Amino acid sequence: MAGKSSGWIYGAAGMLIFSASLPATKLAVTGFDPVFLTLARAAIAGLIAGLLLLIDRAALPQRGEWARLGIVALGVVAGFPLLTALALKSISSIHAVLYTGLLPVATASFAVLRAGEKPRPVFWLCALAGSLVVAVYVLRQEALFSPVGDGLMVLAILVCGLGYAEGARLSRKFGGWRVISWALVLTLPVSLGGALLRWPGDLAAVGSSAWLGLAYVSLFSMLIGFFFWYRGLAEGGIAAVGQLQLLQPFFGVLLAAALLGEPVRLMLFVTMGIVAACVAGARRFAS
């Protein structure tokens, strides 16, 4: 029981860190090309991760584990950051951040397929209800949709859910911080080389807000957040702790409002309360 409780605490910390990712990405793409941003954030985090692994003298993963680390890298190092950065060129950060309300169902589904978890039927009712509430909120608040932006966000959610579930499985052996560190190191030749090739021509024209966004997504969204998140998933259960992502859109909306001046309505807090009840129900019936 203590392990499950600590898993929820670590998971909540990771969720709060991730909730600022899309607003920070929105800031970053005001000054950086989305492809460069994806490569640069992975390269910066990868260099730091490599240094941490050297200091730790971490043992190399075994042959079969590199393929699983590749799945993690595809999902959370390359896929989700690139797809969301491209999507934010045509949709608002609030619109995009609300899609993260679908992540719990995606993560739980991959937890069943990849990790063999078997949540109880009531769990799925709570999880689907929470996602439905978030979807209704999106429809009420944002009537305008972009086929390209929304399509990219759906793909981002799918690859991210897979990366979360696979990373949590590996975390039970390596620990969360080593999993994301090895995944970042695995992609470092591509991310660092690609970032240098796509280096912006005029860095002086990049505003301070874009630099701030790049710093956040590199250090926190790409690295530190996973230290907490993967440990939380590994200790508390992938499907169960993953339901905390239902709350992530609302914290993201509040941060987007504070950082970007985007509007917040009273219905946000009402919906957040309903979603919190769904999260509590999912925790109760997760196993």
Contact 103, 252 (CB under 8 A): no
At a CB cut-off of 8 Å and minimum separation 6, what does 6 contact? 235, 236
Tokens, residue 214: 């790049």
The pLDDT value given to residue 148: 86
Q: How far apart are CA 257 and CA 236, in angstroms?
A: 31
Q: How many CA atoms lie within 13 A of 101 on its CB side?
A: 30
Of 52, 68, 276, 30, the closest CA to residue 181 belongs to 52
Cβ-Cβ contacts under 8 Å for 127 (sequence gap 6 or more): 104, 105, 108, 119, 239, 243, 246, 278, 282
**Residue pair 111/239 in contact by the 8 Å Cβ criterion:** yes
Taking alpha carbons only, the member of 18, 13, 159 closest to residue 76 is 159
Coil, strand or helix: which one is 60? coil
Q: Which amino acid is at 87?
A: A
Name the pTM for this structure: 0.84
Q: Please list the ranges in the chain whose pLDDT falls under 70.
A: 1-3, 94, 97, 138-139, 141-144, 259-260, 262-264, 287
Q: Are 136 and 274 in contact (CB under 8 A)?
A: no
Instruction: Pull the structure tokens for residue 282.
Output: 């999912």
Q: What is the pLDDT of residue 141?
A: 62
Contacts of 266 (CB under 8 A, 6+ apart): none
Residue 89, helix vs strand vs coil: coil
Residue closest to 251 by CA, chosen among 238, 264, 239, 261: 264
**Per-residue pLDDT at 158:** 93
Identify the pLDDT of residue 95: 75
d(CA 149, CA 171): 32
Cα 204 to Cα 24, 86, 209, 234, 258: the distances in Å are 20, 23, 13, 43, 26
